[in-house]
């Protein structure tokens, strides 16, 4: 009987997609990876909703709006193991530099004061349509919203680290986390 | 009964963008909108940071083309530290940066073609979504998949050699670069074992063009008629109107080829380009100021660049360019699907430029940084893979950033993408009370041609998931379909 492959799901919350790009940087190994694991809900395929319970969920990015929180909770519900991939997911990363600044100021800067809008927005229009998700008061790292099982540091974590971590999880071996990867950049 | 339809090009819950379509009582499309639902606030939160952080900080906007942000910010800071724009740098600094940037164009265009376009070309637009992705390509045509992987790898390794890291590097600094390319580093590429050398990359880029031409021959009607509409086009152009991704002046033309912006200096971009804010999207709507909000919108990216430039300064790509231009008798090309064709010609050009640069001994020079009289304001503009990218900074007397303004490539294409969606919706949705699979596909294909960052994100490996909800005039949900 064929052994069932581990199922992996991934998502990008408030991240820059660099962590997902770093997964691609495993280069030729991507071809062996797709033989080793089955991808469920992920930007890498067309599956939008979880179709079954997954073994590994990989989260890039932090939570900066209401939809991010919803997605993250869905991942926790549907994955046995959750990995925070990269500094945005772990600590909030660069997007969390807005923490401490009133969101209104961020809006005014982008939509009223910028040199290419200044004077061209006399009615002071700000994006506020019901179709747009609610922006949170601050950016929340993932572990403040749900329990996270593993953290892979880096911005982005280097490709080798991602591959080794997945291989370790799949094989049940311990992951060696070299000293030099435990840092922001 | 009048209706409203919502389409999430990216899943609702993952939210980066979505589409709503409103129908009137007769079922005619009265309005459609592409909503961008992400907001970060970079312009505000970089204020107060030391200016030299900008190139490493602001590139965290986008991990798909971080080199473009890295270099656009560095170019703005070149002005601030008094090195001037573009050619103000030392030959070594300018060429190392060019190598980094053309490597980025190369890897990004290769990624787009192999991961995004090739599934459609191999299996057809209407194939089962389950196989229409890179995993399907890997199973059906392993050689093609390996080519895609190795081309990206080649570009990424060049970026690492010049910027220190594959993603979010640190190579460019105000006034220059922090290292040159040693002979040893260079030889890794020029003497690289096949296929990891420029000649192999040029050959593969050429074969990608041939692959597309073959597809075009068989599907001419679709490629020539899908989502066609006239528009203005804008890009940087180099000396004598050469295609140049790294530096130049702003040129804009109308759909007939009449020049609207005549190679203007981008330090004053804010006199020529204004942005409109609309309440239903976090992404602004740029337009050419002189024409105004209604007719001043334009396209950027590969299609626009091959419309605005006069020629391509490398022989193989120029030959392909001439064949491509002959399709429209030298006039601007307004056929959306030709963007894929244009992108591949640029891929070939990038490979040729990389080969020439690697053979240039200036890369081993030792003059890395130039500075001059300090200024308080600077603008940096570059042609990113997806189009023109603007960074504008002002600093205070403490060397802190006091103002930042960013217009990213996808933003310029905001209005064109909205038009494309509207056009597809009008032609396929009118009179229908139900959301059909072909219509979802068509909307997806129309948006994808622009390779917008919001969805190239989700696209990177596969195709765009869609969610459509149908509402009546009282905003009551009457139908919902998902593509899974
Ligand atoms: S950790 Fe870095 S690479 Fe990853 S999403 Fe955040 S900014 Fe991008």
Give 10-residue mean pLDDT values along chain A (185 residues).
78 88 89 79 59 90 89 93 97 93 89 87 84 86 97 95 92 86 85
In a domain, A58, yes or no: yes
Domain count, chain A: 1
In a domain, A108, yes or no: no
Residues B459/B445, Cβ–Cβ less than 8 Å: no
| A45 contacts B461? CB cut-off 8 A | yes
Q: Give the 3-state DSSP-derived string for chain B, with helices as H, strands as E and coil as C.
A: CCEEEEEECCCCCCCCEEEEEEECCCCCEEEEEEEECCCCCHHHHCCCCEHHHHHHHHHHHCCCCHHHHHHHHHHHHHHHCCCCCHHHCCHHHHHHHHHHHHHHHHHHHHHHHHHHHHHHHHHCCCCCCCCCCHHHHHHHCHHHHHHHHHHHHHHHHHHHHHHCCCCCCCCEECCEECCCCCHHHHHHHHCCCCCCCHHHHHHHHHHHHHHHHHHHHHCHHHHHHCCECCCEEEEEECHHHECCCCCCEEEEECCCCCEEEEEECHHHHHHHEEEECCCCCCCCEEEECCCCCCCCCEECCHHHHHHHCCECCCHHHHHHHHHHHHCCCCCCCCECCHHHHHHHHHHHHHHHHHHHHHCCHHHHCCCCECCCCCCCEEEEEEEECCEEEEEEEEECCCCEEEEEEEECHHHHCHHHHHHHHHHHHHHHHCCCCCCCHHHHHHHHHHHHCCCCHHHHHHHCCCCCCCEEEEEECCCCEEEEEECC
| B167 contacts A156? CB cut-off 8 A | yes
| B142 contacts A44? CB cut-off 8 A | no
The angle formed by the CA atoms of residues B441, B302 and A16, to the nearest 5 degrees, is: 70
Query: Min CA distance, A65 vs chain B (Å)?
Result: 8
Q: Which of A24, A25, A88, A184 for a ligand 1 pocket mutation test, highest count of atoms within 8 Å of Cβ?
A: A88
- Can you give the CATH number for the domain in which B229 is found? 1.10.645.10
Residue of A21, A64, A106 with shortest CB distance to B64: A21
Cα of A102 from ligand 1 centre, angstroms: 23
What's the sign of the alpha-carbon dihedral A109, A113, A118, A123? positive
Residue A94, ligand 1, Cβ within 6 A: yes
Q: Which of A21, A156, A185 for a ligand 1 pocket mutation test, highest count of atoms within 8 Å of Cβ?
A: A156
Cα of B387 from ligand 1 centre, angstroms: 22
Closest-CA residue, ligand 1 atom 5, reads: A15
Residue of B38, B153, B277 with shortest CB distance to A121: B277
- What is the reported pTM? 0.92
Could you count the other beta carbons within 10 Å of the beta carbon of residue B322?
12
Cα of A62 from ligand 1 centre, angstroms: 9
* A145 interfacial to chain B (CB closer than 8 Å): no
Most B CBs within 10 Å: which of A45, A59, A73, A159, as the mutation test of the B interface? A45
Closest-CA residue, ligand 1 atom 7, reads: B60
Residue A18, ligand 1, Cβ within 6 A: yes
Question: Using a CB-CB distance cutoff of 8 angstroms, which residues of chain B are in contact with residue A20?
Answer: 63, 457, 460
Domain that holds residue A152: 7-98+138-182
In a domain, A120, yes or no: no
- Can you give the CATH number for the domain in which A68 is found? 3.40.50.700
DSSP A5: P
Q: Are strands A150-152 and B467-472 parallel, antiparallel or unpaired?
A: unpaired
Dist. CA A38–CA A32, nearest whole Å: 11
Tokens of B63: 């991990």
In a domain, A54, yes or no: yes
Ligand 1 closest atom vs CA A87: 1
With a cut of 0.90, is the ipTM above it? yes
pLDDT at residue B13, as a whole number: 31
A–B CB contacts, 8 A cutoff, strictly below:
217
Packing angle, helices B198-218 and B142-163, rounded to 10: 140
Residue of A95, A117, A155 with shortest CB distance to B277: A117
In a domain, A118, yes or no: no
Dist. CA B397–CA B184, nearest whole Å: 42
Residue of A46, A98, A128 with shortest CB distance to B483: A46
Question: Using a CB-CB distance cutoff of 8 angstroms, which residues of chain B are in contact with residue A37?
Answer: none
| B13 contacts A70? CB cut-off 8 A | yes
Looking at the DSSP assignment, which residues form a beta bridge with residue B469? Answer: B6, B480
pLDDT at residue B10, as a whole number: 40
Q: Quick: pLDDT tens for A107-141.
A: 899 899 989 988 888 888 888 887 787 888 899 99
In a domain, A104, yes or no: no
- Nearest residue on chain A to B467, judged by CA atoms? A48
Domain count, chain B: 1
* A122 interfacial to chain B (CB closer than 8 Å): no
Domain that holds residue B184: 3-448
> Which of A15, A84, A45 lies closest to B454 in space, CA to CA?
A15
| B403 contacts A45? CB cut-off 8 A | no
User: Which residues neighbour B461 within 8 Å (Cβ) at sequence distance 6 or greater?
Assistant: A24, A42, A43, A44, A45, B115, B133, B134, B135
Question: Using a CB-CB distance cutoff of 8 angstroms, which residues of chain A are in contact with residue B60?
Answer: 16, 18, 93-95, 155
pLDDT at residue A49, as a whole number: 65
In a domain, B463, yes or no: no
Closest-CA residue, ligand 1 atom 2, reads: A155
In a domain, B10, yes or no: yes
Question: Using a CB-CB distance cutoff of 8 angstroms, which residues of chain B are in contact with residue A48?
Answer: 11, 465, 467, 482-484
Residue of B63, B130, B149 with shortest CB distance to A16: B63
Query: Min CA distance, A175 vs chain B (Å)?
Result: 23
Most B CBs within 10 Å: which of A13, A24, A104, as the mutation test of the B interface? A24
In a domain, A17, yes or no: yes
Dist. CA B127–CA B139, nearest whole Å: 15
pLDDT < 50 stretches in chain B: 1, 9-15, 454-466, 468, 482-484
Cα of A76 from ligand 1 centre, angstroms: 21
Dist. CA B157–CA B99, nearest whole Å: 11
């Amino acid at each position: 009987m064929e052994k069932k492959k581990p199922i992996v799901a991934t998502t990008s919350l408030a991240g820059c997609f660099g962590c997902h790009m770093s997964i691609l940087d495993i280069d030729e190994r991507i071809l062996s990876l797709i033989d080793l694991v089955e991808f469920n809900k992920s930007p890498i395929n067309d599956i939008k909703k979880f179709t079954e319970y997954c073994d590994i969920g990989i989260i890039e990015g932090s939570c900066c709006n209401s939809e991010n929180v919803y997605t993250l909770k869905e991942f926790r519900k549907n994955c046995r193991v959750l990995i925070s991939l990269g500094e945005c997911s772990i600590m909030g990363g660069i997007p969390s530099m807005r923490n401490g600044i009133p969101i209104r100021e961020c809006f005014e800067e982008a939509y009223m004061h910028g040199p290419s809008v200044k004077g061209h927005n006399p009615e002071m229009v700000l994006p506020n349509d019901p179709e747009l998700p609610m922006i949170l008061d601050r950016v929340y790292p993932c572990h403040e919203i749900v329990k996270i099982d593993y953290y892979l540091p880096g911005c982005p974590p280097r490709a080798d680290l991602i591959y080794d971590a997945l291989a370790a999880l799949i094989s049940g071996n311990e992951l060696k986390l070299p000293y030099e990867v435990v840092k922001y950049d | 009964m009048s209706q409203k339809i919502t389409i999430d090009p990216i899943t609702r819950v993952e939210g980066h963008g979505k589409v709503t379509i409103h129908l009137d009582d007769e079922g005619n499309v009265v309005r459609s909108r592409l909503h961008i639902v992400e907001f970060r606030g970079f312009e505000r939160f970089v204020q107060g940071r030391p200016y030299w952080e900008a190139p490493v900080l602001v590139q965290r906007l986008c991990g798909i083309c971080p080199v473009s942000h890295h270099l656009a910010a560095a170019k703005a800071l070149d002005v601030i530290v008094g090195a001037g724009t573009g050619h103000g740098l030392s030959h070594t600094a300018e060429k190392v940066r060019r190598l980094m940037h053309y490597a980025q164009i190369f890897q990004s265009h290769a990624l787009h073609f192999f991961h995004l376009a090739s599934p459609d070309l191999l299996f057809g637009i209407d194939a089962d979504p389950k196989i229409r992705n890179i995993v399907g390509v890997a199973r059906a045509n392993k050689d093609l998949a390996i080519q895609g992987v190795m081309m990206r790898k080649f570009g990424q390794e060049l970026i690492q050699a010049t910027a220190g890291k594959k993603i979010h590097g640190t190579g460019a600094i105000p006034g220059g670069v922090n290292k040159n390319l040693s002979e040893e580093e260079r030889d890794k590429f020029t003497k690289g074992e096949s296929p990891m050398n420029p000649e192999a990359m040029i050959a593969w880029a050429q074969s990608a063009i041939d692959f597309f031409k073959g597809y075009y021959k068989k599907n001419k009607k679709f490629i020539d008629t899908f989502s066609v509409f006239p528009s203005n086009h804008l890009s940087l152009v180099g000396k004598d109107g050469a295609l140049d991704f790294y530096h130049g002046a702003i040129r804009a033309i109308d759909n007939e080829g009449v020049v609207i912006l005549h190679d203007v200096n981008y330090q004053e971009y804010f006199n020529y380009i204004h942005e409109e804010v609309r309440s239903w999207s976090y992404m602004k709507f740029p337009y050419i100021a002189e024409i105004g909000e209604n007719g001043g919108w334009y396209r950027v990216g590969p299609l626009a660049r091959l419309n605005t430039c006069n020629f391509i300064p490398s022989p193989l790509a120029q030959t392909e360019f001439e064949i491509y231009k002959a399709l429209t008798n030298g006039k601007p090309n307004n056929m959306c699907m030709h963007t894929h064709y244009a992108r591949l010609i640029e891929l070939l050009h990038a490979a040729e430029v990389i080969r020439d640069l690697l053979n240039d001994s200036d890369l081993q020079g030792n003059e890395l940084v130039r500075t001059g009289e300090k200024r308080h304001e600077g603008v940096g503009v570059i042609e990113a893979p997806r189009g023109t990218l603007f960074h504008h900074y002002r600093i205070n007397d403490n060397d802190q950033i006091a103002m930042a303004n960013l217009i990213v490539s996808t933003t310029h294409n905001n209005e064109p993408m909205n038009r494309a969606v509207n056009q597809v919706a009008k032609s396929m949705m009118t009179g229908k009370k139900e959301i059909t699979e072909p219509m979802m596909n068509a909307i997806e294909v129309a948006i994808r041609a622009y390779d917008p960052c919001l969805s190239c994100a989700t696209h990177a490996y596969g195709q765009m998931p869609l969610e459509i909800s149908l509402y009546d005039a009282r905003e009551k949900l009457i139908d919902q379909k998902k593509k899974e």
